[in-house]
Amino acid sequence: MATVLDLTLLEGFSSIFSFLLIFTIIYALLVYTKFLGDNKSLHAIIALSFSVIMLFTPRALEAVKIMVPWFMLFILAGVFVLLVYKLFGAPDSSIEWTVRNYGGLKWGIFIVSVIIIAGSLGYVYSQPAPGTAPQEGNSTILTAYQGDVGSTGEEALLATIFHPKVLGMVVTLLIAVFTISLLSQSPK
């Protein structure tokens, strides 16, 4: 059923999102650790290089696409745990002390991260390589919306613009823009 919130068209932008995510994470890690000094332009060049290399490695991009939702769920669960502690009156200093000093928590985060990474890499590398013929019963056919055979260019353009997948992508991006705009305003 076609709805305005059909987000499958955003899947075409997943390479761009993956590129930006990889660039941001690598740049932030280099700046935070100061592994190569304080030269931020060098950090940006290295992060850009890694991101571009990842763009040309389809299996690595697929692994990132599988990892990101699992890490987001993991982070969301952590936020909910913090909210529950705050709901029951735990002070910030107590939560901060627990995070800094409790080694089991750090090891737990590390183990869950390794499981997510290993699971996504295992899944990606257990599949046939891109460009090879799919096995019988495992074929996927991707089709694009083409409109009616006898339609004019203007009708096809309007049909594309008002297609539910395009409208869903536009609504989602507008919500994201307004959310970022409202969150980035300074309090009055």
| 8, 95, 110, 120, 181 from 60: Cα distances, Å | 21, 36, 21, 10, 32
If one counts every other C-beta atom within 10 angstroms of the C-beta of residue 62, the result is: 19
CA within 13 Å, CB half, 55: 14
Q: What percent of the chain has pLDDT over 90?
A: 20
Give the pLDDT confidence of 113-172 residue by residue, as tens digits: 989 888 888 888 887 766 666 555 544 433 444 444 555 666 777 777 777 887 888 888
pLDDT recorded at residue 163: 78
What phi and psi values does residue 175 have, to the nearest 5 degrees?
A: -60, -40
Take residue 78 and report the two structure tokens written for it: 């952590």
Average of per-residue pLDDT values in the chain: 80
Residue 108's pLDDT band (boundaries 50, 70, 90)? confident
